[in-house]
Amino acid sequence: MATTGTRGLRTIETDIPARLDRLPWARWHWAVLLGLGAVWILDGLEVTVVGVIGPRLTDPAGGLGLTDAQVGLSASLYVVGACLGALGFGYLTDRFGRKKLFLLTLALYLAATVATAFSFNASWFYACRFLTGAGIGGEYAAINSAIDELIPARVRGRVDVVINGSFWIGTTIAAALSIVILNGDVLPEDVGWRAMFALGAVLGLGILWVRRTVPESPRWLFIHGRDDQAERVVRGIEDTVRAETGRELEEPGERLRIRQRRAVGFGEIVHTAVRRHPRRTLLGLALFVGQAFLYNAVYFTYALVLAEFFGVGSADVGWYLIPIGIGNFLGAFALSRMFDTVGRKPMIAGSYILSGVLLVGTGLLFRADLLSATTLTACWFAVFFFASAGASAAYLTVSEIFPMETRAMAIAAFYAVGTGLGGVIGPALFGRLVETGELGAVATGYFIGAALMIAAGIVELVIGVEAAGRSLEDIARPLSAEDERGAVRA
């Protein structure tokens, strides 16, 4: 690693990005994915817990005596917390490093979800859901950036889509366990739903233990003046990969010339998004608003729809959520490879538009009263099979198309704005629509979600960035990168 300058921050030449991208897949990469990516299972668990226990929470005897609208409000508060947590922790992640924050955010989640299990009134429950969301929101920023900076470029698409899709493993686990835990013959009614939250804390402790061995991102280290530490980390990774694969490593590709810096201010972050990459900013907003409204509106309130229109009891809701969770994960898993082979633009656009069209069909059938609880669930299986891959790729997209110095903050900002518009409004709106007891009112909500998904797919077709197989530094040149003449790139 060549350097120029004096003590402190310097201008350096580094091949670390190329060295990380040329690594063959090894057990070390699996360990990173387990330690970092498993958090999406927790998020899926949290989202589904509120969905399946919604009817139980409205029971004054076994729950908290909430109304349907209050259950929707608690879901919205979780999302508000996630948005604010993503923004706050996202900024800190870019400033102080990936590892410090992905340990801190998980610790916050653990404390808040344990506290939720001890809720005895609506106010405490609301506060705990807000803080739990803040921890999960911070995870989204820290984890997506860390994974993308450690995973080779040639497989980054499929890895990100599957990891983000693992959210649905959590939903399926929660739905399956709810069948047993919410059964009053197994656990008392006022204990079962609390046990669901305690389960998340147990899983979180396991993830925290694995995560402690994951290194800081070498890309973050060399930009922030810690190039010697970055070199040690990469050499350690290379030695581990050689030992695990028994293969000699290829020579790395091009070197990158970087002027090191301590931090990036909010002004430069805004300038990067609005002035330097306005089309990419529009793309990120479209993708996030579309998927956030669809998922938060439909999934947060599905238990209420089942109870209101089909008479499904809280103990049986899990039977209907399990197929949806399976369909979501199968879609992300089955289609993930094509995000690297077919390409980002056709796959993202296709998955968004197709899921939107299927959602229109579902809304029409629902409004015409032609669906049962079983056939409506089958429709959601089809819709979310395609929507899941596209939604997972939204996180991949914003992580790839913005410079390294602002990567975590970019993920946080799009998650917060998209989820704030789609995820906060969605559950509250659907809670009100369900309370009307009218099929047409709920179907209108479905049509809104379909329009947002189709519009996002069209935006991807027009201004999407093809990033398959390209290094992160090639897709979005670092703000501190210098060209061959030594001038910092604008």
Q: What is the pLDDT of residues 252-264, one digit of tens each?
A: 878 888 887 777 7
Q: Cβ(301)–Cβ(427) under 8 Å? A: yes
The pLDDT of residue 490 is 31
Contacts of 93 by beta carbon, 8 Å cutoff, 6+ apart: 101, 102, 138, 141, 142, 145, 408, 409, 412
Q: Would residue 465 count as lying in a domain?
A: yes
Residue 184 CB: number of other CB atoms within 10 A? 14
How confident is the model at residue 51, as a pLDDT? 67
Domain range spanning residue 214? Answer: 13-251+258-471
- Quote the crossing angle between the two packed helices 122-150 and 39-57, to the nearest 10°: 160
Whether 377 is in a domain gets the answer yes
Residue 163 falls within a domain, yes or no? yes
What CA–CA distance (Å, rounded) separates 400 from 314? 41
Q: What's the sign of the alpha-carbon dihedral 352, 283, 94, 130?
A: negative
Burial (CB count within 10 angstroms: exposed 0-12, middle 13-18, buried 19+), residue 247: exposed
Who contacts 166 (Cβ-Cβ below 8 Å, separation ≥6)?
37, 38, 40, 41, 44, 329, 332
Q: Does some domain include residue 4?
A: no
Q: Which of 222, 157, 245 has the alpha carbon at shortest distance from 15?
A: 222
Nearest residue to 48 (alpha-carbon basis) of 153, 181, 141, 155: 181
CA dist., res. 137 & res. 116, Å (int) = 17
The CA distance from 456 to 195, in Å, is 38
169 with 41: CB under 8 angstroms? Answer: yes
- The span from the CA of 73 to the CA of 450, in Å, is 23
> Is 5 within a domain?
no
pLDDT of residue 78: 85
Distance CA 148, CA 408 (A): 11
Question: Could you tell me the pTM of the whole model?
Answer: 0.84
Question: What is the helix, strand, coil percentage profile of the chain, to 5?
Answer: 75, 5, 20
- Retrieve residue 390's tokens: 């596209």
258: enclosing H helix or E strand: strand 256-259
Q: What is the model's pLDDT at position 1?
A: 56
pLDDT at 282: 94
Give domain status of residue 22, yes or no.
Answer: yes
Write the DSSP symbol of residue 97. Answer: -
Q: Give the CA-trace dihedral at 131, 136, 138, 141, to 10 degrees.
A: -160
Low-confidence ranges of the chain (pLDDT < 50): 5-7, 484-490
Q: Enter the tokens of residue 393.
A: 């790729």
Answer whether 135's CB lies under 8 Å from 106's CB: yes
The pLDDT value recorded for residue 212 is 81
Sheet holding 11-14, edge to edge: 2-4, 11-14, 256-259
For residue 34, which of 126, 150, 135, 194 has the smallest C-alpha distance?
Answer: 150
Report the CATH number that the domain containing residue 302 is assigned in CATH.
1.20.1250.20
Q: Which of 233, 218, 261 is nearest to 8 (CA)?
A: 261
Q: Flag whether 356 is in a domain.
A: yes
Short-list 220, 226, 256, CA closest to 8: 226
The Cα–Cα gap between 229 and 236 comes to 11
The one-letter amino acid code at 238 reads: E
Structure tokens given for 215: 């290194």
Q: Is residue 399 part of a domain?
A: yes
Q: How far apart are CA 143 and CA 167, in angstroms?
A: 13
Into how many domains does the chain fold? 1
- Rounded to the nearest 10 degrees, how much is the dihedral formed by the CA atoms of 374, 379, 385, 389? -130
Q: Which amino acid is at 472?
A: L
Please enumerate in sequence order all residues whose Cβ is within 8 A of that of 52, keeping only pairs 6 or more positions apart, or say none: 174, 175, 178, 182, 196, 303, 314, 317, 318, 321
